[in-house]
Structure 1
């Protein structure tokens, strides 16, 4: 719009330039005639006037008009009868035609060269601008730095008060955006209609969105919107295709810079997380190893006191409480050690053909020492069910699941462990079921997550830290099976079911044993 107004203001100046050059050609031509030069020289003067007029004006119009005016002026002043548009000599007709064609071609060539030179200058200007933008964006360390650079350079190059809105890591626009004022300062403005803007851009099928105050150009990264460059309506409405293409090129530079910044930040966060996990694993492993020896002594001493005391003796109940708490702590230590090995990839599965009922029997025997007053029912098929497994790890899974069932059921309630083949005969299905309070619906999706614990437990239940089920699920997954949890359909209670393939399909590599020899000679 401003460009068209500027062209209108220049029209009188172009007309004056054409008249002046034609007048100068006429005056010099009359001087040539007095000197005795031929009319051919005068024709060249008018062609020169057309050439200069085309050089100093924009577009083809003034060059063509100057060509016609030059022919008529030459006819008026330099052909007989003078001061008339008539002519006596028929040969002048050829002169006028040639003069008009030469003047027209000269004007067209001059105008074309001007347009080419103008386009070359614009390309050079765009190239320099993109280089300037890229070099500044390379130095940006944060998204806010990239936004400041983009706003400043786009505002200067396009002659507007551009703005930039950044998106956060969750894909939501920030509460404020950056804009350059008419004085060249960068200010923060509050974003209105955040959800509406987000919805419009998510459904956008055009290069930009036309709002009431801004035209919004999204800055797309690899997978999502990284930001929005906002151009005021009064400026954006006057953009031509060249300016829009130039803006698109700048937006690509901004997108690459923002992608690079986010990638660097993600790498730094990942390195920091890996380092923290390493420190955490080392600390947990060191603490766990240091706790195992005194816990073994506490468990042995409490058992001796229980054996030496009568049940009605208060010391028996005291020793029994110490023994139970020591067992709980020992289980917690074992789980922490297993978790660190899983996270560091040091838990290697060493499978051998094992009888499923023997593994269950060993786990039940271990549980009898922990909870001697609890009865655990076992159901197994009559035929021997041989399953490829790491016996120590699967026994640990069964003990964790049975220990979990003991914690959530009263003394007289049923706890059952079953094993059988599935309908296809491809997997062994292990089930640990109880008659406790069951699993809350909100807990089911998260029950195998690390450090997740249910909030609806009996008041007297032993508090856990959410490692046992996570470790169980990881062990079963590494065996090529799967684990799930759900509430029982035949009444109150929960069931934990896991499957193990009956046929080994993965060729295992030589690796250390899954058990880890500790300093005190115990194997976890």
Structure 2
């Protein structure tokens, strides 16, 4: 029975769903009262004085109560139905009369029965609607829980993969660092030997060996740093330091490794004294200067500039070389990690070096940007807060 009533409810809802609530409820009430009148008239024509018009109108009130909103329309229909039965289908026909014995009781009983049926039907409809709503809510919660579980599993799987990759990188980096340091040290010793100095070919080969070994050592250090920062195993031990001293140490390191390159240092008039992890900030400066040396093609115009901008201590590395590609610039601006593939010379690890810079500056709650100078060359800039800020 409930399925039949629900089917009827859905059919009428689709048929008159375009109407506003009040006109729709009035139309449904009028329609079923007219149907009850027609059916009672047919029954009266076939049965004479005896008919079941009261039952027909009660059935109409049931449908009206089920298909309309609230109690008002069903109760109003029961009152109208009681009047119609008395007026059209009880003797004297087409006249309203309560003078005959039993008429008042019959009419009042019919109205009361219709009202009770109306109330019960409305309550059943309300319970059915609440049950449907609870079922839909349960379905939505189940689907949401399933999606959350899928996302959780995907995140966990990605985290496990990242952990495995980080462990592999750390293991490989540690294993590579010792022989690379030995190679660089041996090349340094050979460069001091007279046999090597007296042969331009041997000198060039040993210099290349030392340069490549130093580059690989720097790449290994970058890999170790980026894996430790990203998995949280390298806590920041910030302390108040002068940025000028850190820049001086970075410049000395670069000049020892690349003595033939001219790099200028421009200092701010203000003393830039701020909280930082000095070794990591030095690594950022060294990476940016090394990228400028290796990728710009500029030997004489590389500049390291320190200045204050509002509440930021800003470090800027400029060159007059060929600039950076739009892909690298967009990757830096969006904050996503760079891959070595983005470098024109991927063996030198430009992408890894910039990713390390991004991670270190992000850990310091700073900003990192890159672009091209309109007059030519690339500009890399990062800023550190002058005062300590808490991570959100």
Considering the TM-score relative to the shorter chain, is it more than 0.5? yes
Counterparts of 1:47-446 in structure 2, within 5 Å, are: 52=55, 54-55=57-58, 58=61, 60=78, 63-69=82-88, 71-73=90-92, 95-96=99-100, 100-126=103-129, 134=135, 250=136, 254-308=139-193, 309-310=196-197, 312-380=199-267, 386-410=273-297, 412-422=299-309, 426-446=311-331
Higher helix content, 1 or 2? 2
Shift of 1:296: 0.9
Shift of 1:307: 2.5
Gaps of 5+ in 1: 26-48, 76-84, 86-92, 135-249, 509-524
SS of residue paired to 1:405:
helix
Counterparts of 1:495-506 in structure 2, within 5 Å, are: 495-502=379-386, 504-505=387-388
Shift of 1:19: 6.1
SS of residue paired to 2:91:
helix
CA–CA distance in structure 1, aligned partners of residues 111 and 48 of structure 2: 18
TM superposition score normalised by structure 1 = 0.56
Matched, 1:15 2:16: no
With CA pairs under 8 Å and 6+ residues apart, which has the higher RCO, 1 or 2?
2
CA–CA distance in structure 2, aligned partners of residues 456 and 473 of structure 1: 16
8 Å CA contact 1:354–1:389 kept in 2: the answer is yes
Deviations 1:31-58 (A, max 9, x none): xxxxxxxxxxxxxxxxxx7755544555
Number of residues paired by the alignment? 344
Deviations 1:12-37 (A, max 9, x none): 54434456777459xxxxxxxxxxxx
8 Å CA contact 2:298–2:319 kept in 1: the answer is no
Gaps of 5+ in 2: 1-7, 13-27, 62-76
Shift of 1:254: 4.7
Corresponding position of 2:70: none
8 Å CA contact 2:291–2:350 kept in 1: the answer is no
SS of residue paired to 2:330:
helix
TM superposition score normalised by structure 2 = 0.73
Corresponding position of 2:376: 492
